[in-house]
Structure 1
Amino acid sequence: MSLPSLREATRVWARIGLLSFGGPAGQIALMHRELVESRRWISEARFLHALSYCMVLPGPEAQQLATYIGWLLHGRRGGLVAGLLFILPGVLVMLGLSTLYTLYHQAPLTAALFYGVKAAVLAVVADAVIRLGRRALRGWPAVAVAGLSFLALAVARLPFPLVILMAALIGGAARDTFAPVRPDHSADALLDRQLDGAIPPHARPSRRRALATLATWLPLWLGPLAALRLLTGPDSVWTHIAQFFSGMAVVTFGGAYAVLAYVAQTAVTGYSWLSPGEMIDGLGLAETTPGPLVLVLQHVGFLAAAHAPGGLPPLLAGVLGGLLTSWVTFAPCFLWIFLGGPYVERVRANPTVTAALSAITAAVVGVILNLAVWFGLHVLFRGSRPVALGPISLPLPSGLDTGAALLALAALFLLRRTRLGLLPTLAACAAAGVALRHLGA
């Protein structure tokens, strides 16, 4: 067997983009299932190595992981195809949902559909935690790092970059304990088989390629910001959107959940772009679309422009604001991968670096578990109360949503014990959600 052609890989990336529900945990699990388990295009070691690198980057880690693997298989064209197809379905769906939300956000049918889909997405995330944990937590030290990472985020509320840095230091200091998964030379991973575990020629460090990457992607990313500031002035909503979300692109460590609090505070209180309720509704929309959860930022940009359209029709302004937000959010992701990827591949055989990245991968399990618990509290319970042991909230026992809990359990059973698939499971839960709401559950 040989590596897939770019055309064949494009079909697979399109499939992944259309099925990438469930936030980063579900998306990472989907890519692992499609690329490592089913097709065996890359080895477990390379997948986890790439994942660890993407977790220390700002921006959506799942989209950057897709870009990295696409680039590793087929160079920059492959990275562009993988990264764009991963976000394009979600961008288009989110534009449609934001438009419908602006027109019909009070529709009860929409809320009923979201009720069922959110329960299914919770099951997807739980399944992803189980899958990733089985592969990344090899031995008690990795389990301990995952547990400490969970407590650091959920109880101590430490910043995500600090948690990742601490994991890296632990892994580097105990490199024999955190021995990474060895590259697979057993002919199961096509990339390693073809290259005998070596670095692909296009993925080797090159000063010329690094300078060309900077010369290409910095203007593509920051050019629209400069043009909008020049054309519309420094105080226009367009300039503010471009500046704010460009800044978010370099500080969004830890994915969408880690940055949503700051975005909500600034967008709602600072700029008055939208109300708190509209911000929460945007998160609900993003949870039910394929693609990265940071597409909620696109919803914020949509409403910001729609509420201050200037001389444009509000819906047209909203579409342009949403697209501008997505551009300045995702364009830097390609820069990080194309610029840093060759150097990450170069250190793949360094035992200290790879041990540090292995510890980061273990910490990621704790991070995703924290997100799953956070999501579960909001899906399964109608209320929460603070406890004395810290800022963590516990669910009110009387607030359990029995219908959502049953739907989540049914979805988890369908995902783990049947071959129904993700989309049919989501559709079934959406229909069940409408039925339960109709019956008054």
Structure 2
Amino acid sequence: MSGQDISTKELFSVFGRIGLLSFGGPAGQIALMHRELVEERRWLDEDRFLHALNFCMLLPGPEAMQLATYAGWLKRGVTGGVIAGLLFVLPGFAVILALSAAFLLYGDLPAAEGVLLGLKAAVLAIVVQALVRVAGRALKTPLAWVLAPTAFIGIALLHLPFPAIVLGAGIVGLAASLLRREKSPDKPVMVEKKRDRSVRAAVIWGGIWLLPLVAMLVIFPGPFADMALFFSKAAVLTFGGAYAVLAYAGQQAVEVHGWLMPGEMLAGLGLAETTPGPLILVLVFVGFLGGARTLDHLPIAGGLAGGLVALFFTFAPCFLWIFAGAPHVERLRGVRWLADALAAITAAVVGVIANLAVWFALHVLFAEIGEMRAGPFHLPVVAASSLNWPALAIATGAGVVLIGFRIGLLKVLAAAIAAGLVFTLSA
């Protein structure tokens, strides 16, 4: 680990800036951190940044927030990691709470429908842009170009679990590295008392996360305890970062728990895209609506409680993963076979994001979606007559200006919302 050469004031300044400007989902946030930490301030070199990123891609939960925590830990230990992680999350948390309350109170108004139409269409373009960016960084070898579409087929058409895809990609990357028989000298970074620190971190942060969970389940059983368990499961079981968690969380929140109505997950995602911070803050939207509908006589109070439950139980495990695992990962930073395995996993994640882009496209653009089986494959089927032409027009326009002309995200979102209002109010 780097020496503690960065002051606490500098950490607050830099990660506060990152937290306030981190719009655009994981791809944009990672690019922002790369510019701030590698290019401008040179706090991390390129190899160390990519090594940390590949490790965070392996973890369940939001990879961008965990990357910020990792970077803060490298500069000032656990204190730096906590500062960096919290500053990355809290500004967006405050904004998404306010937007969730506005959605609850005014979401049925025609104007709100227009806003959501524009947001959903813009989200589709943003996800496609993220796919292009991540693919540009990750697909640099023939093997990577094979792994990405293979992962897409596995998760989209065969419905294979994400952990199996990650494990398979890692094994392929490891095997390819060993077959090449490249002998790169390992240059491990020794971390003093690595094992003791990791065990201590696991005990402390495991307790911070699990003791409140157990207390809620045992002492205060009910809807909010169910939320705590749900968001803890999402934090543990949803590998592949923010994009990978969305399909799971949306299906569970709508079909199993009844916290959201169909279509509201996409609305929440659109709202989350307008906030700084990790895209997984959409789970705060889920918690807010779930809490408000649980305490329907005090909806705002219930929403605030649900939002706080979502925040804590989604992000507390992230600190556990980083503080317990980062010392080991830093020690293995110079190991070639590990770097190759992590790079293969990153390539597979491109296929996962491509699956999300297809899922969003289907749900934003079509009102009627079904599925057919062809042997082991699950193929989506849409009713062409249910195509949402305004959404298609807005999404296409947003994609052109985002990817082709690189117009700023906030300008694109504002234009998409305005177009959604025009289409809705003039209908």
TM-score greater than 0.5 by the shorter chain: yes
Tell me which of 193, 199, 219 is aligned to 2:207. 219
Which amino acid in 2 is paired with 1:105? G
CA contact (8 A) 2:89 2:277 kept: yes
Moved more, 285-294 or 218-227: 285-294
Compute the displacement of 1:384 (Å): 4.0
CA contact (8 A) 2:188 2:330 kept: no
CA distance in 2 between counterparts of 1:122 and 1:37 reads 30
Compute the displacement of 1:61 (Å): 1.9
CA distance in 1 between counterparts of 2:227 and 2:113 reads 28
2:173 equivalent in structure 1: 171
Compute the displacement of 1:144 (Å): 0.6
Moved more, 20-29 or 54-63: 20-29
Whether 2:339 is the aligned partner of 1:337: answer no
1:17-52 deviations in Å (ceiling 9; x for gaps): 334344334433443454445555433332332222
CA contact (8 A) 2:274 2:413 kept: no
Q: From the superposition, tell whether residues 410 and 29 of structure 1 become closer, same or farther in structure 2 (CA, over 3 Å).
A: farther
Moved more, 295-304 or 348-357: 295-304
Compute the displacement of 1:268 (Å): 4.5
CA distance in 1 between counterparts of 2:229 and 2:314 reads 11
1:192 equivalent in structure 2: none
CA distance in 2 between counterparts of 1:375 and 1:294 reads 16
Compute the displacement of 1:263 (Å): 4.1
Tell me which of 225, 232, 235 is aligned to 1:239. 225
Which amino acid in 1 is paired with 2:208? L
Q: From the superposition, tell whether residues 166 and 379 of structure 1 become closer, same or farther in structure 2 (CA, over 3 Å).
A: same
1:363 equivalent in structure 2: 348
Where in structure 1 are there 5+ consecutive unaligned residues? Answer: 184-196
Whether 2:240 is the aligned partner of 1:254: answer yes
SS at match of 2:332: helix
CA distance in 1 between counterparts of 2:285 and 2:181 reads 42
Q: From the superposition, tell whether residues 148 and 278 of structure 1 become closer, same or farther in structure 2 (CA, over 3 Å).
A: closer
Moved more, 84-93 or 405-414: 405-414
Q: From the superposition, tell whether residues 274 and 397 of structure 1 become closer, same or farther in structure 2 (CA, over 3 Å).
A: closer
CA contact (8 A) 2:119 2:267 kept: no
CA distance in 1 between counterparts of 2:158 and 2:345 reads 18
Q: From the superposition, tell whether residues 380 and 101 of structure 1 become closer, same or farther in structure 2 (CA, over 3 Å).
A: same
Equivalent pairs counted in the alignment come to 420
Compute the displacement of 1:383 (Å): 4.2
Which amino acid in 2 is paired with 1:242? A
Moved more, 246-255 or 32-41: 32-41
Question: Taking structure 2 as the reference length, what is the TM-score of the superposition?
Answer: 0.85
1:85 equivalent in structure 2: 87
CA distance in 2 between counterparts of 1:47 and 1:18 reads 21
CA contact (8 A) 2:243 2:353 kept: no
Tell me which of 361, 379, 389 is aligned to 1:392. 379
1:423 equivalent in structure 2: 410
CA distance in 2 between counterparts of 1:137 and 1:177 reads 20
Compute the displacement of 1:256 (Å): 4.7
Question: Taking structure 1 as the reference length, what is the TM-score of the superposition?
Answer: 0.83
CA contact (8 A) 2:119 2:270 kept: no
SS at match of 2:379: strand
1:49 equivalent in structure 2: 51
SS at match of 2:216: helix
SS at match of 2:378: strand
Q: Percent identity?
A: 50
2:394 equivalent in structure 1: 407
Whether 2:60 is the aligned partner of 1:58: answer yes
SS at match of 2:356: helix
Tell me which of 228, 236, 241 is aligned to 2:216. 228
SS at match of 1:349: coil
Mapping for residues 204-215 of structure 1, pairs under 5 Å:
206-215=194-203
SS at match of 1:250: helix
Whether 2:312 is the aligned partner of 1:327: answer yes
Which amino acid in 2 is paired with 1:354? A
2:276 equivalent in structure 1: 290
CA contact (8 A) 2:119 2:416 kept: yes
CA contact (8 A) 1:25 1:368 kept: no
CA contact (8 A) 2:26 2:63 kept: yes
Whether 2:128 is the aligned partner of 1:126: answer yes
Which amino acid in 1 is paired with 2:425? H
Q: From the superposition, tell whether residues 55 and 392 of structure 1 become closer, same or farther in structure 2 (CA, over 3 Å).
A: farther
CA distance in 2 between counterparts of 1:272 and 1:99 reads 18
CA contact (8 A) 1:58 1:250 kept: yes
Q: From the superposition, tell whether residues 9 and 432 of structure 1 become closer, same or farther in structure 2 (CA, over 3 Å).
A: farther
Tell me which of 349, 354, 378 is aligned to 2:339. 354
Tell me which of 3, 17, 20 is aligned to 1:18. 20
SS at match of 1:249: helix
1:191 equivalent in structure 2: none
1:312-370 deviations in Å (ceiling 9; x for gaps): 83321220121022101100101100110111111121122111111111112222222
CA distance in 1 between counterparts of 2:240 and 2:132 reads 20
Q: From the superposition, tell whether residues 213 and 4 of structure 1 become closer, same or farther in structure 2 (CA, over 3 Å).
A: closer
CA contact (8 A) 1:204 1:346 kept: no
Which amino acid in 2 is paired with 1:376? A
CA contact (8 A) 1:29 1:128 kept: no
Q: CA RMSD in A?
A: 3.3
CA distance in 2 between counterparts of 1:105 and 1:179 reads 59
Q: From the superposition, tell whether residues 149 and 305 of structure 1 become closer, same or farther in structure 2 (CA, over 3 Å).
A: same
2:426 equivalent in structure 1: 439
CA contact (8 A) 1:148 1:366 kept: yes
CA distance in 1 between counterparts of 2:179 and 2:316 reads 37
Tell me which of 283, 289, 304 is aligned to 2:290. 304
1:73 equivalent in structure 2: 75
1:227-276 deviations in Å (ceiling 9; x for gaps): 434543xx322322223322332212234554455545554455444544
Compute the displacement of 1:137 (Å): 1.3
